[in-house]
Structure 1
Amino acid sequence: MKSNKLAIVIPIFNEEEVLPTLFERLFPVLDSMNKSYEVIFINDGSKDNSIHLLEELYNKRPLQVKVIDFNKNYGQHMAIMAGFENSDADVIVTMDADLQNYPEDIPLLIEKVEEGHDVVGGYRLNRQDKKWRLFVSKLHNSLRLKLTGIDMVDEGCMLRAYTNDIVQRVISTKENSTFLPALAHSFATNPIDVGVRHAAREEGTSSYNLYKLIRYNFDFFANFSKAPLEFFTLLGFLVSTASIILFIFLICSRFLHGPGADGVFTLFAITFFFLGVVLMGLGIVGEYIGRIYEEIRQRPRFIIKSILSLNQSDDK
């Protein structure tokens, strides 16, 4: 596929410290590719000076830069979705602003697209993350393949390229909660992964802590698999079977040895265990019901406060 027009979509959330370096490194790469391109920055509710830096950049490069300003924070994937909806490029590349991925690796992705691949996923070589994040990522990738069948090397790497056909399929889903790399990969007919460089974050702070990563993993599997529900169904069956066996054991024990105080405490422990299982099950079911509730409300996935672009400059 010949990529006549290229778009780079970059979510921004409190990245004022790294933006000047990003600008210095990104545009020389794109200029050297001899392609028509645009860079779409989505300000995802930043509280720092990010939006002002983006406005200054737009004033310097209005032909290549588009700035989308959200009214509040909607999250990385919704920011990318806004970029998708506001681009008509043949190929769209997504990347984070933190420079942990190298802008200089973008041509590697475009080369694979032009070879005929509709989704090109980057995977991080020699990852410069903390050990606990590496462990969580490895566990997630393993579970994702087993539970959803989505075979990706490194879902957490946001340096990825998509053809316009794939982007349009993603946009058409209209889902309020989604995970774009996996969703796009599920629509692909000829995906491929390519190794890209990875650097430690030198400026700014990551918005992902341990809780958010755990939350991300649960949300992902609730979106792409019924495995949590199936697991709870199996657990319920096993617990019910065990409770019947225990009941028979306690009845036999009473007839053979008579009543005892230990039996009362045993029953308390069993009751609390069963209550814990029931509450866990209600929580899992509630997560799925909550997603159904979000979808049927059909509220906007995000609200764009303003767009800076030569083609449109409006408040929404």
Structure 2
Amino acid sequence: MTARKKLVSILIPAFNEEENVTRAYETVKKVFDSLPGYDFEIVFTDNHSTDKTFALLKTIAAKDSRVRVIRFARNYGYQRSVLVAYKAARGDCSVQIDCDLQDPPELIPELLKHWEAGHQVVYGVRRSLPDGPVTAFARKTFYRLMRSLSEDDLPIDAGEFRLVDRVILDQLRDVDDTSPYVRGLVSSMGFSQIGVQYDRQARIAGESKFPLRALISLAVDGVLNHSLIPLRIASLTSLVVATITFVVIFVYLMGRLLLGQDWPAGFATTTVLLLMSIMLNAMFLGIIG
């Protein structure tokens, strides 16, 4: 009796990638031609492309039953697209790659080798970047900022290019987040994780769908989802405002009782109530989190 081959799900988000989708499909297929011990599927998530991307993907899927295409009714953003692909994966493990192939599919055999050795997460570590100096600096700063602020052990210079085991895919199915930070979610789950260094390639065709403003937005989502710093700031704010409130009350009472001073009608009451409102909002934000 022939043993069942392990199934590897290749997850590829796409948005206006008409120049790259066919090349991505052909490259992945070629990689698995050299891996006869595995079966594979490709899950494309089309983030409501406005060019020929979806039409090309439908043509590919019609010819190859190993290809599935999920098209969104509108553009939900890169991170949600990645999360949906993880939830749709049927494999024993999955590998997330970008449609522009800047993260080389040729590295998949090495990722699988580490997975077979017992690691549940094998992530790519970008040894070099083809971006311009400003974008490269922003990316490196982002990785280090997230690592310093996060409560989780986020790897430096690692993007979404990674292999994850079925056990993590099952846990990701329970995630319901409209602004997910997927690499943070995976890192927070623990298990055995290891990095593999590689040189990121330059984009051959099409334009980048991840400009500097998207990186800033991702940083904000990452900090809000995987750091206690904002909650600690809220708690500290409530403490500072509480101190100011008590000082205002003390000054008002001392001035009134000892010096006979009188503030404009309603001024003291309005000031104290406003400060107490700010204090309570900040305090409960820090508690509820």
Give the TM-score taking structure 1 as reference length.
0.71
User: Residue 105 of structure 1 contacts residue 197 of structure 1 at CA under 8 Å; is this kept in 2?
Assistant: no
After TM superposition, the structure 1 = structure 2 runs for residues 1-316 of structure 1, keeping only pairs within 5 Å, are: 4-34=6-36, 35-62=38-65, 64-154=66-156, 157-231=159-233, 233-234=235-236
Give the direction of change, closer, same or farther, for the CA distance of 1:73–1:146 in structure 2 (3 Å limit): same
Q: Identify which of structures 1 and 2 has the higher relative contact order when contacts are C-alpha pairs closer than 8 Å and 6+ apart.
A: 1
Give the direction of change, closer, same or farther, for the CA distance of 1:236–1:155 in structure 2 (3 Å limit): farther
Give the direction of change, closer, same or farther, for the CA distance of 1:195–1:122 in structure 2 (3 Å limit): same
Looking at structure 2, the residues matched to 240 and 3 of structure 1 have their Cα atoms a distance apart, in angstroms, of 63
Looking at structure 1, the residues matched to 55 and 71 of structure 2 have their Cα atoms a distance apart, in angstroms, of 11
Classify the secondary structure of the residue corresponding to 2:28: helix
Q: What letter corresponds to residue 223 of structure 2 in structure 1?
A: F
Classify the secondary structure of the residue corresponding to 2:159: coil
User: Residue 6 of structure 1 contacts residue 37 of structure 1 at CA under 8 Å; is this kept in 2?
Assistant: yes
Q: Deviations over 1:89-121 (max 9, x none)?
A: 101111110111111111111111111001111
Looking at structure 1, the residues matched to 196 and 104 of structure 2 have their Cα atoms a distance apart, in angstroms, of 13
Looking at structure 2, the residues matched to 102 and 96 of structure 1 have their Cα atoms a distance apart, in angstroms, of 9
Looking at structure 2, the residues matched to 133 and 109 of structure 1 have their Cα atoms a distance apart, in angstroms, of 27
Q: Deviations over 1:264-307 (max 9, x none)?
A: xxxxxxxxxxxxxx9xx99xx7xx89xx9xxxxxxxxxxxxxxx
Q: Deviations over 1:186-214 (max 9, x none)?
A: 11211111112311112111122222221
Give the direction of change, closer, same or farther, for the CA distance of 1:70–1:231 in structure 2 (3 Å limit): same
Give the direction of change, closer, same or farther, for the CA distance of 1:133–1:238 in structure 2 (3 Å limit): farther
Q: Which residue of 2 aligns with 1:303?
A: none
Please identify, of 115-124 and 18-27, the stretch whose mean Cα deviation from structure 2 is larger.
18-27
- Alignment identity in percent? 29
Structure 2: 5+ residue runs without aligned partners?
A: 252-274
Aligned length: 251
Give the direction of change, closer, same or farther, for the CA distance of 1:88–1:25 in structure 2 (3 Å limit): closer
* CA RMSD, 1 decimal: 2.9
Classify the secondary structure of the residue corresponding to 1:152: coil
